[in-house]
Chain A
């Protein structure tokens, strides 16, 4: 299986980066392939060398985190599309609202399954600032389009269920500090791909 992950940053010690790194290292250990595409944050990272990491620079800065993220997704999409087109991938996995625009576009264009991990929701973060509503809309869109939604804790699960109306059937709580958590994600990937296969055969 080949999995392409999107993250707004990738460096040692940062939460989402560590999540992607641990998951990707598990996947390659099990004989799968994993690529992480992130914004080029210019910070150091250490990862199993079988994991491919692509950091893309962004030539333009936004006037706030929302417009920055929207433009940054352009570069994520571009690089991810090139990789998928040349190497063929099975699944896209994006993290938080900041990579949802890219994840959704890639899913639609490349017709690949999409997994989304919500590390926290805008509601949990206090729904503050000028762009809270736009960010929350992106969280809704991403979880709506996703074939599977992962959350890392119960608080987020409740928010995703009640604030974003995600059906419980496609939602899984996977605590990245629990034992063998990556295998639960891998199993979900396998289920998604099996379902897709089934759908293809039926049509």
Chain B
């Protein structure tokens, strides 16, 4: 099959999780004998063949005054490229990822008369609401994507209900396919971090990885910290990620001093090392359609204390692969982190179970096969 992926970001360009998702999915599809083509934004027009995937980048104007009009403009450029590529070899369908890809993908659908599949990774409603006309327009574009698509894919079980209700998507169009983890990336990796870069010899690392915004709940973890160190002085909090780091760093430092560390930018290699080395991961999100971090921790044999919300209801099995805390509840986070620190043997056992569960349930080979199955439905 020859699907055309439309995404505004694709590695090496990445801002959020869509780039990595598209790359893993496209690469796996190619390995399974399909011919995925990726159309995305680039600083200049270029073509690249990587891991069996044909990648085309088109530039976009810098005259757009806002992201919606930029996405509209990029969509038009992407559509023109798709028309040109389709003349050489026809596409079977167009697969859009999130609202930024909706203008381009719907244009391609209409001009080339192709079926469309739309993956919703998150919603405007969940990200930061729809109070302004601008936010409402993004919400409407998301709706339009689900309306025009023959099949809609969502990345979380509970999230798929949310998407279905929010956009009134018919039952027979909505699908749930979890994200996957590229285990090879974790297994190939033999680099060990230097423990003393992050903590003292006797300290144990409690790790946070994610963009530091309210949605990801770093503030709730910071509030929980004193209750944890009061009982287990060996806990050392390491907070990795972009976003409002300075804001959270100020709060955390004034509360916890040396017991919390913000390393700033860390390379992918260093991050994989940290995840493997950490005692546990904490993901205190208040909203999380899927949440890849618990699975990445699991791939590193590390258990996660995560909020009982969205995708984490499925990616964490309470008291087996990790622990669930109540969302936006520092006491609950502290209670669960303390339970894991209290029993290191149990903590390790949960880490090993988490790894085993990822091997069985969250592999890209499986996810890719489910996705091409949905393509078959869209082609009907």
User: Does A61 sit within 8 A of B, measured CB to CB?
Assistant: yes
Q: Which of chain B's residues 138-195 have a Cβ closer than 8 Å to chain A?
A: 140-141, 143-144, 147
Complex CA–CA separation, A176 to B68 (angstroms): 36
Complex CA–CA separation, A70 to B102 (angstroms): 12
Chain B min CB distance to A126 (Å): 16
CB contacts (< 8 Å) of A67 on chain B: these are: 68-69, 72, 137
Chain B min CB distance to A81 (Å): 6
Q: Which of chain A's residues 124-138 have a Cβ closer than 8 Å to chain B?
A: 130-131, 133-134, 137
Contact A71-B66, Cβ < 8 Å, known A59-B144, A62-B137: no
The tally of CB-CB contacts under 8 A between chains A and B is 77
Q: Which of chain B's residues 59-77 have a Cβ closer than 8 Å to chain A?
A: 61, 63-66, 68-69, 72-73, 75-76
CB contacts (< 8 Å) of B64 on chain A: these are: 134
Q: Does B73 lie within 8 Å of A134, measured CB to CB?
A: yes
Q: Does B136 lie within 8 Å of A70, measured CB to CB?
A: no
Complex: chain B residue closest to A132, CB-CB: B63
Contact A74-B83, Cβ < 8 Å, known A60-B144, A134-B69: no
Complex CA–CA separation, A60 to B75 (angstroms): 16
User: Does A109 sit within 8 A of B, measured CB to CB?
Assistant: yes
Q: Does A81 lie within 8 Å of B73, measured CB to CB?
A: no
Q: Does A66 lie within 8 Å of B110, measured CB to CB?
A: no
Chain B min CB distance to A111 (Å): 9
Chain B min CB distance to A146 (Å): 15
Q: Does B63 lie within 8 Å of A134, measured CB to CB?
A: yes
The residue in B73, B111, B136, B147 that gathers the most chain A C-beta atoms within 10 A of its C-beta is B111
User: Does B107 sit within 8 A of A, measured CB to CB?
Assistant: yes
Mark each residue of chain B from 347 to 360: 1 if its CB lies under 8 Å from any CB of chain A, else 0. Answer: 00000000000000
CB contacts (< 8 Å) of B251 on chain A: these are: none
Q: Does B140 lie within 8 Å of A61, measured CB to CB?
A: yes
Mark each residue of chain B from 78 to 98: 1 if its CB lies under 8 Å from any CB of chain A, else 0. Answer: 011001101000000000000
Q: Does B68 lie within 8 Å of A74, measured CB to CB?
A: no
Complex: chain B residue closest to A60, CB-CB: B144
User: Does B306 sit within 8 A of A, measured CB to CB?
Assistant: no
Q: Does A66 lie within 8 Å of B69, measured CB to CB?
A: yes
Complex CA–CA separation, A14 to B77 (angstroms): 31
User: Does B112 sit within 8 A of A, measured CB to CB?
Assistant: yes
User: Does B271 sit within 8 A of A, measured CB to CB?
Assistant: no
User: Does B250 sit within 8 A of A, measured CB to CB?
Assistant: no
Q: Does A134 lie within 8 Å of B61, measured CB to CB?
A: yes
Q: Does A70 lie within 8 Å of B66, measured CB to CB?
A: no
Category for how many chain B residues contact A? 20 to 34
User: Does B106 sit within 8 A of A, measured CB to CB?
Assistant: yes
User: Does A78 sit within 8 A of B, measured CB to CB?
Assistant: yes
Complex: chain B residue closest to A100, CB-CB: B76
Q: Does B110 lie within 8 Å of A81, measured CB to CB?
A: yes
Question: How many residues of A are counted as interface, with CB atoms below 8 angstroms from the partner's CB atoms?
Answer: 27
Complex CA–CA separation, A119 to B48 (angstroms): 41
Q: Does A63 lie within 8 Å of B107, measured CB to CB?
A: no
Chain B min CB distance to A197 (Å): 21
Complex: chain B residue closest to A133, CB-CB: B63
User: Does A194 sit within 8 A of B, measured CB to CB?
Assistant: no
Q: Does B72 lie within 8 Å of A108, measured CB to CB?
A: no
A130: contacting residue among B66, B86, B113, B147, CB under 8 A: B66
CB contacts (< 8 Å) of B65 on chain A: these are: 130-131
Mark each residue of chain B from 333 to 371: 1 if its CB lies under 8 Å from any CB of chain A, else 0. Answer: 000000000000000000000000000000000000000
Mark each residue of chain A from 146 to 172: 1 if its CB lies under 8 Å from any CB of chain B, else 0. Answer: 000000000000000000000000000
* Chain B interfacial positions (CB closer than 8 Å to A): 61, 63-66, 68-69, 72-73, 75-76, 79-80, 83-84, 86, 103, 106-107, 110-113, 133-134, 136-137, 140-141, 143-144, 147
* Chain A interfacial positions (CB closer than 8 Å to B): 59-64, 66-67, 70-71, 73-75, 77-78, 81, 101, 104-106, 108-109, 130-131, 133-134, 137
13 new A-B contacts, CB < 8 A, other than A60-B143, A64-B69, are A59-B144, A61-B137, A61-B140, A62-B68, A62-B72, A70-B76, A71-B103, A71-B144, A74-B106, A77-B107, A105-B111, A130-B66, A130-B69
Q: List 28 A-B contacts (CB under 8 A).
A: A59-B144, A60-B144, A62-B68, A62-B137, A66-B69, A67-B69, A67-B72, A71-B72, A73-B107, A74-B106, A74-B107, A74-B110, A75-B110, A77-B107, A81-B111, A81-B113, A104-B80, A105-B80, A105-B83, A105-B107, A108-B80, A108-B84, A109-B112, A133-B63, A134-B64, A134-B69, A137-B61, A137-B63
